[in-house]
Amino acid sequence: MGFEVGSVERPFDSLIGQHKGIEYCPCSLCRPSSAPIPLVEVPHPSLPFRNRSRGVPLIDVLIITKNEEANIGFCLQALQGWTNRVYVVDSGSTDRTKEIAESYGAEVVHHDWPGFARQKNWALQTLEFTSEWTLIVDADEIITPELREVLVGIASKPADQEMRDGFFINRLTYFLGKPIRHCGYFPNYHLRFFKTGRGLYEEREVHEHIILDGPVGRITTPMLHDDRRGLEHYVAKHNRYSTLESQALIREIKSGRSESESLDPGARRRRWAKRTILPRVPLPGLIRFFYMFIIRGGFLDGWTGFYFCRFIATYDDFVALKLRALIRGQSIDPTGSTGLSDITVPGSASPSPSKVDHADKPHRQMQPEASPWTFREKLGRAIWMLVGRTVFRVTFHNWYGVRRAILRLFGARIGSNVAIRPTVHVEVPWMIHIEDGATIGDYAIIYSLGPIRIGPRSIVSQYAHLCAGTHDYADHTFRLIRSPITIGADAWIGADAFVGPGVEIGDLAVLGARSSAYKNLEGGRIHVGNPARDVKERNLK
């Protein structure tokens, strides 16, 4: 147990270089955010999930639904082309959930609702899972391209050569459209991927977990948990969850039940605390808020983290109140105890099956998600903006050595004899590397959200803009992409020219005045226009 797979530090770094569906943003107002989830090439939804002809390892998928119209299309789109059978077990949706699922090639099966664990166990024991591996996802969860590669890599090996019987998968939760990276909610592991036939769910009303006797590993690359049904549904769902949670806790208290060793240690600790501490403390919500917001760093998620911590604290208060009522022998109203809501949110539905190839296109653009910068980086940027940049700007025009020293003090790698004018705007100094003899002209913008390297003796003329940050316009949270810019030796970036993220400019290349480079420029050539085109060779005398 305890094997680690994948990466949690920067889950999308390996995919940032993709540019499909991306426009370069030359504005200086872009603020840092998390790297985007790039667009994924998927077959048309009417095609089946199976892909035997390409030799893709087969993985069967189980999803339970009721009135998941707003979520199911996004979930199924991410499963296209690399899974075998996708079962959607529906308990009586009255919206377009079944229609949308069928349009994506899923096998929709109706089964009346017996409870979360029983519904999933019925599916695992009754339906035909023919692949060696089974993946369980909720309708409001999305498998990212990077996580897909990890799962396919595991399934590529013969099952008898994989010592682990299952894997906990990390999950990144979104709240109010923004990711929760702290608060004790990330990393957040759930056992969802296991060898077919090896796992069943424990008998529990809510927050059920798979029981697996064999060794398990962890996949640190996260899936995304983003319920698009709106805040009204989210509040109502958690009110019902608190009823189910209190009922589960009172049953466990009376039976003296202990937790299975297959559960994640964090889940075991939380259940123990809820059974033994929650009924006894006077202000459980306040304690939970302090723990999440202060001890577990929820304040680093900004106002979204504050509201999320308040919400979960309120949930704990609801559970505690209902649990105390049950301990006193009082009944609580089990309204909505099926646990799957009938609430619908107008305008939040997944796209019509006739247009499912355009599924992931919300009607409005949201604000960028929370900053990915660490607390230390945020502090460094604040000091740079308040002190470093201010001092840099007021230095005398030919005090090049002073400006080099200031930039080095803030982590920049600056070579000898580098000439940088005082009006140059440097966004993040520790992201730049300027080699010997380079020159940066007046009012040039070094927008270094990503790394920027300028080669020896190269010239960046006045008003030029090197932009190592852009946004994915096709993603509903407008996530930021930070891709490096590399300028070779003896290159010249003309006045008012623009160089976009991820561009490499070769040695001796010239980018003409007011030209724009969105793709790599060949060395020793002159490039002009928007977008820049190769016009002739550069001949030095």
Give the separation between CA 413 and CA 83, rounded to whole angstroms: 47
Radius of gyration of the chain (CA): 27
531 upstream amide cis, omega within 30 of 0 = yes
Question: How far is CA 22 from each of CA 231, 473, 500, rounded to the nearest angstrom?
Answer: 29, 6, 11
Residues 400-432 pLDDT 10s: 999 999 999 999 999 999 999 999 999 999 999
Mean pLDDT of the chain: 82
Q: What pLDDT is stored for residue 172 in this prediction? A: 96
Q: Rounded to whole angstroms, how far apart are CA atoms 503 and 352?
A: 38
Given the DSSP bridges, would you call strands 459-460 and 492-493 parallel, antiparallel or unpaired? Answer: parallel
Cα 521 to Cα 19, 121, 441, 487, 540, distances in angstroms = 17, 57, 21, 9, 18
CATH (one of 3.30.70, 1.20.120, 3.30.200, 3.90.550) for 46-344: 3.90.550
- Residues with Cβ within 8 Å of residue 50, at least 6 apart in sequence: 58, 83, 84, 85
DSSP-assigned letter for residue 521: B
Predicted local confidence at residue 540, as pLDDT: 85
Alpha-carbon distance 446 to 440, whole Å? 9
491-513 pLDDT per residue, tens: 999 999 999 999 999 999 999 99
Long-range contacts formed by 407-414: CB under 8 A, 24+ apart: 407/432, 410/380, 410/383, 410/384, 411/380
E runs forming strands in 176-234: 178-180, 189-195, 200-201, 210-211, 216-225
Rounded CA gap, 78 and 106, in Å? 12
Geometric angle at alpha carbon 447, from 441 and 451, rounded to 5°:
105
Cα-Cα-Cα-Cα torsion 47, 53, 57, 58, nearest 10 degrees, comes to 50
Q: Which residues have C-beta within 8 Å of that of residue 23, sequence separation ≥ 6?
A: 470, 471, 473
Placement of tokens 């979360």 in the chain: 116
- Provide the residue ranges of all domains of the chain, joining segments of one domain with +: 46-344, 375-537
- Strands 166-175 and 189-195, by their bridges, are antiparallel
Report residues of the chain scoring pLDDT below 50. 1-48, 51-54, 336-363
Q: Which residues pair with 141 in a beta bridge?
A: 225
pLDDT, position 206: 78
Closest CA to 288 of 268, 267, 314: 314
Q: In this structure, what token pair is assigned to residue 286?
A: 């306040």
Check residue 69 and give its pLDDT. 94
User: Using an 8 Å Cβ cutoff, are 243 and 334 in contact?
Assistant: yes
> Which DSSP helix (H) or strand (E) runs through 482?
strand 480-482
Query: Which CATH number applies to 375-537: 3.30.420.40, 2.160.10.10, 2.130.10.10, 2.40.110.10?
Result: 2.160.10.10
Structure tokens that stand for 99 in this block: 């229609």
CA–CA distance, 295 with 289 (Å, rounded to integer) = 9
> Can 46-344 and 375-537 be said to share one CATH topology?
no
For residue 367, the 8-state DSSP code is P
Are 89 and 111 spatial neighbours (Cβ–Cβ below 8 Å)?
yes
| 193 to 62, 332, 464: CA distances (angstroms) | 11, 36, 50
pTM of the model: 0.55
pLDDT of residue 275: 77
d(CA 359, CA 361): 6
